[in-house]
Amino acid sequence: MEPVPLRRYLAANAVALAPSFAGLLILYWSGYLAGRPTLFAMAGIAVVTVLLVQRYLGSLARFARFVGELSDEREPVMPRLSFAPATEELATAAAQLSAGWRRQRASIDNLAASAQAIVDGLPDPLIAVDRSRRIVRTNLAARDLLGRAGAERDLSTMFRQPQLLAAIDGLLETADGNFTSADQAVVDFMLPGPPELDVVAHVRRLPRAAADGSLALIVLHDTTALRRAERMRADFVANASHELKTPIAGLAGFIETLRGPARDDTAARERFLGIMAEQADRMRRLVDDLLMLSRIEQHEHARPDTAIEIDRVLKGVLDLLQLKAGSRKVALELSVEPDLPAAVGDYDELTIVFQNLVDNALKYAKPNTTVRVSARPMGRDRIAVAVADEGDGIPANHLPRLTERFYRVDAARSRQLGGTGLGLAIVKHIVNRHRGRLDIQSTPGKGSTFTVMLPAAD
Ligand SMILES: Nc1ncnc2c1ncn2[C@@H]1O[C@H](COP(=O)(O)OP(=O)(O)O)[C@@H](O)[C@H]1O
Ligand SMILES: [Mg+2]
């Protein structure tokens, strides 16, 4: 225990001794007490008082230390304070006060933590800036997007988009008085990559600055996927219309000619009717494929659940295409590993998948080669069906886009071969619905292998 300062010690002793010494001196001067007994009494009282004062001051010092420790956030043991009256009650009251304070602190900390947890749980990046546009708060998504160093920096070090900064400055300025103007803004901008992102920022001014200085909230919403889907839909409609327009224009042209100049030309009429039938057929194929695609898309989330014997599907497909293979002088070969487990799928849809793949292989195969279709188990719970041709192959840069609607390596050649450009898109959607995978390997000049992996039934 630290010693009591000497001056305080002497002063306390003097205060304690003063009344009894004064009493003894009065008794001595009035003659009631002789000199010796007075001196003895004074000495005795002095010894006892000094002892009591020392213990009293010790108790007070312990009390002071206890209160000090309470405010240091520690939980000290209550000392023994029996020598200083009332200090024990004071110490108990102080201990209760500090326990209450600590409980409140804990619940405030809890509130702050859950508020931050909620903000961090938001999927969109959120940034709060103060009056001078400095970042005062970010959530997890914002830190992922912008890196850690966000706090305390000016927003313009993170975003160089003048429209965004201008919108925020506008809102922060109106916060200084002119409350009639809007308190929110929406800004579209591009966040440079990689990957480059289309972003919509919703900026909102708070009614008044928050405790941490936040005055405006910026929520960023990534619209890249949405924009891409929009673009794809627009492209799709444009492509489909274009594909239909060409045969319609052809038909209209021939009808015109047959009504006019070729009205009495029998040979021309026969030839034109043949071409017209071909064009009509092309339109029918296109409409059939479009309808098929939309039908598959509509129930793509519902996974098929029937056990299908893949060799039956493949035999059916090969029987159907044998004639076409013969006319193109291409051999068709099927090999199915024994004990191949059944696949989980939809018979008709899987037929469409392999019809398209084998049809493509036959179309793009070189004459006098073989198209090989093979099925084998893959791992414990999948089966793989590969369709391999010895054709022209596909340059690698086309592979990632091959399953997009209307995407063709050579559009003129595809049309000439009777293709719609939708076959692989249909294949991809059906395989997706089956929770399977489509793998394309191709070597230009050598050939291509399209492999479909499907879940096996147990
Ligand atoms: N086996 C293959 N060999 C070479 N190219 C192929 C093969 N299969 C598909 N392709 C290419 O992929 C494109 C898209 O195929 P697909 O969607 O079936 O359309 P389509 O057969 O109607 O042209 C084809 O136009 C062709 O360029
Ligand atoms: Mg095709």
Ligand 1 within 6 A of 289 CB?
A: no
Place of tokens 């019809």: 355
Confidence of residue 65 (pLDDT cuts 50, 70, 90): confident
Which residues, 6+ apart, have CB-to-CB distance to 354 below 8 Å?
A: 313, 314, 317, 373, 385, 387, 452
Ligand 1 within 6 A of 360 CB?
A: yes
Predicted confidence (pLDDT) per residue in 356-402, tens digit: 999 999 999 999 999 999 999 999 899 999 999 999 999 999 999 99
* pLDDT for residue 63: 86
* pLDDT for residue 107: 93
Which residues, 6+ apart, have CB-to-CB distance to 73 below 8 Å?
A: 102
Are 308 and 276 within 8 A, CB to CB? no
Are 152 and 229 within 8 A, CB to CB? no
Alpha-carbon span 431 to 453, nearest angstrom: 8
* Stretch 149-162: mean pLDDT: 76
Question: Which residues sit with Cβ closer than 5 angstroms to ligand 2, an ion?
Answer: 360, 419, 423
Are 316 and 309 within 8 A, CB to CB? no
Lowest mean pLDDT among 8-12, 172-176, 208-212, 258-262: 172-176
On the question of pLDDT at 437 being above 90, the answer is yes
Domains of the chain, start order: 6-97 (no CATH), 122-222 (3.30.450.20), 228-298 (1.10.287.130), 306-455 (3.30.565.10)
Are 70 and 94 within 8 A, CB to CB? yes
* pLDDT for residue 210: 85
Ligand 1 within 6 A of 362 CB?
A: no
* pLDDT for residue 195: 81
Alpha-carbon span 23 to 42, nearest angstrom: 10
* pLDDT for residue 56: 85
* pLDDT for residue 255: 93
Place of tokens 């010494």: 21
Ligand 1 within 6 A of 394 CB?
A: yes
Q: Percent of the chain beyond pLDDT 90?
A: 58
* pLDDT for residue 175: 56
Residue nearest to atom 24 of ligand 1 (CA): 408
Which residues, 6+ apart, have CB-to-CB distance to 91 below 8 Å?
A: 63, 66, 67, 78, 79, 81
* pLDDT for residue 399: 95
On the question of pLDDT at 151 being above 90, the answer is no
Q: Which atom of ligand 1 is nearest to the CA of 425?
A: 17
Q: How far is CA 444 from the centre of its chain?
A: 39
Alpha-carbon span 437 to 430, nearest angstrom: 10
On the question of pLDDT at 66 being above 90, the answer is no
Place of tokens 């024990």: 88
Mean pLDDT over each residue of the chain, to the nearest integer? 90
Alpha-carbon span 455 to 341, nearest angstrom: 10
Are 375 and 385 within 8 A, CB to CB? yes
| CA 251 to ligand 2 centroid distance, Å | 24
| CA 361 to ligand 2 centroid distance, Å | 9
CA distances in angstroms from 418 to 38, 52, 359, 414, listed in the order given: 136, 115, 11, 6
Structure tokens at 304: 């098929």
* Stretch 249-254: mean pLDDT: 93
Are 168 and 155 within 8 A, CB to CB? yes
Confidence of residue 240 (pLDDT cuts 50, 70, 90): very high
* pLDDT for residue 422: 96
| CA 418 to ligand 2 centroid distance, Å | 9
The H or E element that residue 325 is part of is helix 310-327
Structure tokens at 262: 């070729």
* pLDDT for residue 152: 66
Structure tokens at 125: 């990046």
Phi and psi based region of residue 435 (left: phi greater than 0; alpha: psi -120 to 50; beta: remaining): left
Q: Percent of the chain beyond pLDDT 70?
A: 96
Confidence of residue 176 (pLDDT cuts 50, 70, 90): low
On the question of pLDDT at 149 being above 80, the answer is no
On the question of pLDDT at 123 being above 70, the answer is yes
Q: Out of 328, 358, 408, give the residue to mutate to test ligand 1, the one with the largest number of ligand atoms within 8 Å of its CB.
A: 408
Alpha-carbon span 162 to 185, nearest angstrom: 14
Predicted confidence (pLDDT) per residue in 291-311, tens digit: 999 999 999 899 999 999 999
CA 271-273-275 angle, to 5 degrees, is 75
Beta bridge partners of 437: 453
Structure tokens at 374: 């093979």
* Stretch 142-166: mean pLDDT: 79
Predicted confidence (pLDDT) per residue in 398-436, tens digit: 999 999 999 999 999 998 898 999 999 999 999 999 999
* pLDDT for residue 447: 96
